[in-house]
Amino acid sequence: MVKETTNKTMNIIRYKPSEFTNWPRFDRLSSLRDLLDSAFQLPNPAPGWVPALDVFEDGDKVTVQLEVPGLKKDDFDISLEDDALTLSGERKSDESGGESLRIERQFGAFSRSITLPSPVKADAVRADYEDGILTVILPKAEEAKRKKIQVSLK
Amino acid sequence: MNTLETKENSLPAAGRRIEYLTPRVNLHQDGEGFTLELEMPGVGKDGVEIVVEEGKLILAGHRNTESAAGASVYAERSTCDYRRVFDLDPSVDAERIQARIEQGVLAVHLPKVETAKPRKIPVS
């Protein structure tokens, strides 16, 4: 599943938040905010949809989680190049006959790239897909693990 | 299901307000009924709650609370639970609603009642 690539990977792609607000009770406030945002909108660097991503780090590993509901395991492409991790894939539209009354879900290709906060063991990376969340666990390289040094006080 | 999403306009008691994320939804219709697809990443089978009440279909999703190990370096994902309320179309047979969740997508099938058939009314 994990493969090494040689092409240059870009840094963090700007996150495009969903147009649906966390606070449905404040619809008027959020539409005002959207209006203000639109005046400063930058061209979207990544066409298609941009799934939300989290990065965690502890003593011996880096964990990356991506919110991508409704894919199959084969739809993902995970690649690692030095300290750049790229998670990409495609969500295929399930054409289920009949008439569509409402379409809010996005389909098509996505790609997210991040610079990892520390060097990792490329051959020990593993990934898991459950409940629509892709989790990639990257064990840190030995030199990156924090070493504990005891300092004695006199 | 030709009605739009219901806006709940009653504010809960002060200090007890809970924030929810509105899940994205696709709605399809065919001769047999309606199919709703809601995106609820992070919600498993045990976290789904579906209630039919006073002609409303209330769909809620509670996230698995276990989070990844370590300190957060970068965070975009919300931790809120999901909730969305729809007006049920009168043609929906509420007794036969079926739902399943697969990789964070909740599919709800709402079959129509069989009232289209012509009936003969006997004269007494």
**Average pLDDT over every residue of A58-74:** 93
- A10-14: long-range contacts, CB 8 A cutoff, minimum separation 24: A10/A113, A11/A84, A11/A113, A11/A114, A11/A115, A12/A113, A12/A114, A12/A115, A12/B74, A13/A45, A13/A46, A13/A50, A13/A111, A13/A112, A13/A113, A14/A42, A14/A44, A14/A45, A14/A46, A14/A50
Give the pLDDT confidence score for residue B22 in this predicted structure.
Answer: 93
Which residues in chain B have their CB less than 8 angstroms from residue A58's CB? 69-71
Record the tokens describing residue A90, joined without a space. Answer: 């495609």
CA distance A107 to A101: 17
**CB within 8 Å: A131 and B64:** yes
Which residues in chain B have their CB less than 8 angstroms from residue A130's CB? 103
Which residues in chain B have their CB less than 8 angstroms from residue A68's CB? 41, 104
Helix, strand, or coil (residue B124)? coil
Give the pLDDT confidence score for residue B31 in this predicted structure.
Answer: 80
CA distance B90 to A84: 53
**Average pLDDT over every residue of B49-56:** 92
Stretch (H or E) spanning A80: strand A76-81
Nearest Cα to Cα of residue A144 among A54, A53, A57, A55 = A57
Record the tokens describing residue B108, joined without a space. Answer: 């709800």
Domain assignments of chain A as residue spans, ordered by start = 50-94+105-142
Give the pLDDT confidence score for residue A40 in this predicted structure.
Answer: 64
> In chain A, what is the straight-line distance between the N-terminal and C-terminal CA atoms, in Å?
53
Residues contacting residue B37 through CB under 8 Å, at least 6 positions apart: A70, A105, B25, B26, B27, B28, B105, B106, B107, B108
Please identify among residues 54-93 of chain B the ones whose CB lies closer than 8 Å to any CB of chain A. Answer: 64, 67-78, 80
Tell me which residue in A65, A101, A117 faces B68 most closely, judged by beta carbons.
A65
Please identify among residues 38-57 of chain A the ones whose CB lies closer than 8 Å to any CB of chain B. Answer: 52-57
Mean pLDDT of chain B: 83
CATH of A50-94+105-142, one of 2.60.40.790, 1.10.3720.10, 3.90.660.10, 1.10.1030.10: 2.60.40.790
CB atoms within 10 A of CB A91: 21
Give the pLDDT confidence score for residue A150 in this predicted structure.
Answer: 77
pLDDT digits (tens, 9 = 90+) for A128-145: 999 999 999 999 988 877
Q: How far is B95 from chain A (nearest CA, A)?
A: 23
Give the pLDDT confidence score for residue A21 in this predicted structure.
Answer: 45
Q: How confident is the model at residue A84 (pLDDT cuts 50, 70, 90)?
A: very high
pLDDT digits (tens, 9 = 90+) for B1-40: 544 455 554 444 555 567 899 999 999 988 888 999 999 9
Which residues in chain A have their CB less than 8 angstroms from residue B41's CB? 67-69, 131-133
Q: Are strands B20-21 and B81-87 parallel, antiparallel or unpaired?
A: parallel
CATH number for the domain running over B20-66+76-111? 2.60.40.790
Query: CA-CA distances (angstroms) from residue A64 to A4, A101, B16?
Result: 17, 35, 33
Tell me which residue in B70, B76, B103 faces A132 most closely, judged by beta carbons.
B103
Mutate to test the interface with A, among B36, B74, B82 (most CBs of A within 10 A): B74
Q: How far is A135 from chain B (nearest CA, A)?
A: 9
**CB within 8 Å: B37 and A69:** no
CA dihedral over A47, B61, A20, B16, signed as positive or negative: negative
Nearest Cα to Cα of residue B60 among B93, B38, B33, B36 = B38
Record the tokens describing residue A43, joined without a space. Answer: 């061209």
Q: How far is B2 from chain A (nearest CA, A)?
A: 8
Q: How confident is the model at residue A3 (pLDDT cuts 50, 70, 90)?
A: very low
**Average pLDDT over every residue of A103-122:** 91
Residues contacting residue A84 through CB under 8 Å, at least 6 positions apart: A9, A11, A113, A114, A115, A116
Q: How far is B64 from chain A (nearest CA, A)?
A: 9
Tell me which residue in A23, A96, A131 faces B42 most closely, judged by beta carbons.
A131
Range with the largest mean pLDDT of A24-28, A57-61, B44-48? B44-48
pLDDT digits (tens, 9 = 90+) for B61-114: 999 877 777 888 888 998 889 999 999 988 888 899 999 999 999 999 999 888
- In terms of pLDDT, which residue wins out, A63 or A95? A63
Give the pLDDT confidence score for residue B91 in this predicted structure.
Answer: 86
The chain A residue lying nearest B31, using CA atoms, is A98
CA distance B71 to A58: 6
Q: Give me the percent of chain A exceeding a pLDDT of 90.
A: 42
Range with the largest mean pLDDT of A9-13, A32-36, A53-57? A53-57
Q: Where are the beta strands (DSSP E) in chain B?
A: 20-21, 25-30, 33-39, 48-53, 56-61, 71-75, 81-87, 98-102, 105-111
